[in-house]
Amino acid sequence: MSTIPPCPKCHSEFVYQDAALLVCPECAYEWDASLTTDSKKNRQEIDHAVKDAHGTELMDGDSVSVIKDLKVKGSSSVVKVGTKVKNIRLVEGDHNIDCKIDGIGAMKLKSEFVKKA
């Protein structure tokens, strides 16, 4: 009997194999059966998923809205609640979103202060 690893996204144990793919029925995540959760590449994909304040996964090019007034360091400007930011770029680090905000310019934001628009 083969041992099928749990789902790398939701950690469900109800995973089944469909041809060359492993499928999780709970979160509908599919991955290559040759990749295991112990592999370095698979673990990096899971750890670097950037999520907004509500847990929605963000991707490059998405539009987001700011959910809290944010003071701009070194300036008297404030990014107001509801400011829409288009075409974000995800980067590594504490401030994991690079973007341009109209009237302010290039900024780095934390994903915990935005929601997907």
pLDDT tens string 73-104: 988 999 999 999 999 999 988 899 999 999 89
The pLDDT value given to residue 36: 56
The residue-averaged pLDDT of 99-110 equals: 93
When mean pLDDT is compared across 11-25, 49-63, 65-79, the lowest value belongs to 11-25
The residue-averaged pLDDT of 103-113 equals: 93
Q: Which pair of tokens denotes residue 70?
A: 């944010």
65 to 25, 34, 89, 110: CA distances (angstroms): 31, 39, 14, 12
Percent of the chain with pLDDT over 70: 86
The residue-averaged pLDDT of 29-52 equals: 65
Bigger pLDDT: 58 vs 37: 58
C-alpha span between 59 and 103 (Å, rounded): 24
Long-range contacts of 62-67 (CB under 8 A, 24+ apart): 62/88, 62/116, 62/117, 63/87, 63/88, 63/116, 63/117, 64/88, 64/97, 64/99, 64/114, 64/115, 64/116, 64/117, 65/114, 65/115, 65/117, 66/109, 66/113, 66/114, 67/113, 67/114, 67/115
